[in-house]
Structure 1
Amino acid sequence: MPPNKGPKILAKNVVAKSKLFSIEALDLQFSNGEKRTYERMKPSGRNAVMMVPITEQGDILLVREYAAGTERYELGFPKGLIDPGEAPHEAAVRELKEEIGFGAETLTPLKEVVLAPSYFSSRMTLFVAQHLYSERLIGDEPEPLEVVRWPLAQADELLTHLDFSEARSITALLLMLKMRPELGL
């Protein structure tokens, strides 16, 4: 059976808008004639990166950052949007410098992920960052981020830490742990 090409898009309309987001309604017709309206975040065309930085001493570097969605500080890996004209690996090094004050000589891609494909189209490239060097750039965070060192040998304990709950960070950690031998860790 050939792969399904997907439903026919009959109409796209912005149904709500804020400073940050636009919600788009898609009127669809499926191959069996069934019609439905789906809502999604209107695609922005911008993707993102997240890095698992690992020091020569065998520590994972995380950031503690305020998350408005959960109304608390969350522990996770450095991340950010890819600027127009920037490649994912360039954005990864820039974000590392902005968020934790380190660049990386070695970036190993882990996987490209989508947060919730039914509602979002933006992709995030996950990397392991190694061979770190000290360099800081000014970022766009409203307050300095707390950098937290976590021993790689205790990475399994991080999975159960109450403040480490973001799905993309958990995914990045699990993928990095699976690749430890190839990464020389």
Structure 2
Amino acid sequence: MSETKHNAKKFEEVTISSQPVFQGKVISLQVDTVRLPNGETAQREIVKHPGAVAVLALKDDKMLVVEQYRKPLEKSQVEIPAGKLDPGEAPLEAAIRELEEETGYRAGTIRPICSFYTSPGFANEILHLFAAEELTKGEVRLDDDEFLECEALTLEQAQQYIREGRISDAKTITAVYAWQAYTLTGRF
């Protein structure tokens, strides 16, 4: 048995019951009662999410970002284009869709960088990060409840935005560091 499989069993929490609490448009919340490895029980509050994509879009040595208001933070954020997966939608399809919807650009090449869980302590959301290059102008198609502005940042500007807190979300910070590695090594 591999080390990973062994540790998974060693630390596994077996679900005894699951109680739905909320079903929304984007997320659902449930409270699970679990049996811990030591035989005791505990409750886990779990946010279920369909998954999402984000796109590091590079044009003329600049990264395309969007600025929009984020109600949970009560402030505007500068982020890379991103959005949730539609039911049955492949991450690559969603990345292509979100890039054009939010920035008005289409990618000549688009490839995966990595996938990661955003908050595994309480949510199952997985985010798929893509790199898009060879961009050509398409058409912005924002959702009815989306209000944002698109701009292009140099790597130095993006790093400055991180220091200033204008960029403070994990997906965009991850993208900036991936871009930095790409400029140094030619690989994501």
Tell me the TM-score normalized by structure 2. Answer: 0.86
Look up the SS of the partner of 2:87 in the other structure.
coil
Provide Cα deviations, 1:136-174, integer angstroms capped at 9, x if missing partner: 152315254211111235443232133111122111211
Question: Which residue in 1 is equivalent to 2:151?
Answer: 148
Residue 16 of structure 2 corresponds to residue 10 of structure 1: yes
Deviation of 1:20 (Å) = 4.8
Please tell me whether the aligned partners of residues 47 and 82 of structure 1 are also in contact (alpha carbons under 8 angstroms).
Answer: yes
Secondary structure, counterpart of 1:36 in structure 2: strand
Are residues 130 and 9 of structure 1, via their aligned partners in 2, closer, same or farther at CA, if it must alter by over 3 Å? same
Q: Which has the higher helix share?
A: 2
Match of residue 33 from structure 1: 39
C-alpha change, 1:155 and 1:8, in structure 2 (3 Å) is: same
- Aligned-pair CA distance for 1:175: 2.0
Secondary structure of the structure 2 residue equivalent to 1:119: coil
Matched residue of 1:159: which SS? helix
C-alpha contact 2:158 2:167 (8 A) present in aligned 1: no
Q: Is the 8 A contact 2:155 2:176 kept in 1?
A: no
Q: CA RMSD in A?
A: 2.1
Normalised by the size of structure 1, how large is the TM-score?
A: 0.87
Q: Please name the residue that 2:71 is paired with.
A: 68
Amino acid in structure 1 at the alignment position of 2:106: G
> Does 1:89 find its partner at 2:92?
yes
- Equivalent in the alignment of 1:23: 29
* Structure 1 residue 69: Cα displacement: 0.8
Pick one of 161, 166, 171 that aligns with 1:168.
171
Contact kept, 8 Å, 1:110 with 1:176, in 2: the verdict is no
Q: Which moved more, 1:171-180 or 1:148-157?
A: 148-157
Unaligned runs of 5+ in 2: none
1:124 counterpart (104, 123, 127): 127
Alignment equivalent of 1:52, drawn from 52, 56, 71: 56
Consecutive unaligned residues of structure 1, counting only runs of 5 or more, are none
Count of aligned pairs: 181
Determine what percentage of the aligned residue pairs are the same residue: 28
Distance 1:129 1:20 in 2: 26
Q: Does the residue aligned with 2:186 lie in a helix, a strand or coil?
A: helix
Structure 1 pair 141/172, CA: closer, same or farther in 2 (3 Å)?
Answer: farther
Counterpart CA distance in 1 for 2:138 and 2:55 is 16
Distance across 1 between alignment mates of 2:87 and 2:24: 22
